[in-house]
Amino acid sequence: NAGVMQNPRHLVRRRGQEARLRCSPMKGHSHVYWYRQLPEEGLKFMVYLQKENIIDESGMPKERFSAEFPKEGPSILRIQQVVRGDSAAYFCASSEQGSGNTIYFGEGSWLTVV
Amino acid sequence: KQEVTQIPAALSVPEGENLVLNCSFTDSAIYNLQWFRQDPGKGLTSLLLIQSSQREQTSGRLNASLDKSSGRSTLYIAASQPGDSATYLCAVPLSGSARQLTFGSGTQLTVLP
């Protein structure tokens, strides 16, 4: 039973380019979350999605960031026109339906903006 | 707004020692509390999940307790091993939401052989 799968694990982008991070939740999980860990900072919630729906995006920056979880395929976190401050580890997590369930994290995608 | 604090920020112990990591949170209206382990350059591994109705959970050498009224949780590690070296994070759902987790800044544990 594969865990939460994220790719790419490491991504280097030049300022102004786009970054796309992908996440496949654990089998049977219908809830996906994205968190960001900036250097020397703790993990911060970004967005919570279910299939084809954004449930809570209160942690997403207002511009350049978007997320989706289509009916088919992985969840995508998209960052347009990246800046140096976007350099961070982006973690995806998933859980089963219903509150109170354990949330499982992927290995993360490390974005470096040069 | 929920705030989570972990003390100490770093801890170094000799192998075999029992140790306690502390986590406190400001809003006691939580659904559950989860402890994670993070190795350098890696993702988070879930260790224990304590529901709000529970007082403690055990898994192997790990025991986590929860005192909602005082806003505290502890993670007890028995007979520590060098392989336990990692950063330990506690997280609670944001007040009013069962989904959005608020993380502490973690305790960086080093177990010396």
Disruptive mutation site among A36, A91, A103 for chain B (greatest number of B CBs within 10 Å) = A103
Category of B30 on φ-ψ map: left (φ > 0), alpha (ψ -120 to 50) or beta = beta
Mean pLDDT to the nearest integer, A92-113: 87
CA B56 and chain centroid, separation: 12
SS3 for A46? strand
CA of B47: which chain A residue's CA is closest? A102
CA A43 and chain centroid, separation: 12
- Whether A99 shows a pLDDT value over 80: the answer reads no
* Closest CA–CA distance from residue B99 to any residue of chain A (Å): 7
* Tens of pLDDT, residue by residue, chain B (113 residues): 889 999 999 999 999 999 999 999 998 888 889 999 999 888 899 999 998 899 999 999 999 999 999 999 999 999 999 999 999 999 998 766 667 889 999 999 999 99
Mean pLDDT to the nearest integer, A18-44: 92
Write down how long chain B is. 113
Partners of B30 on chain A (C-beta within 8 Å) are none
SS3 for A86? helix
Category of A13 on φ-ψ map: left (φ > 0), alpha (ψ -120 to 50) or beta = beta
Residue B68 has phi, psi (to 5 degrees) of: -60, -40
| Minimal Cβ distance to B43: which of A56, A91, A102 | A91
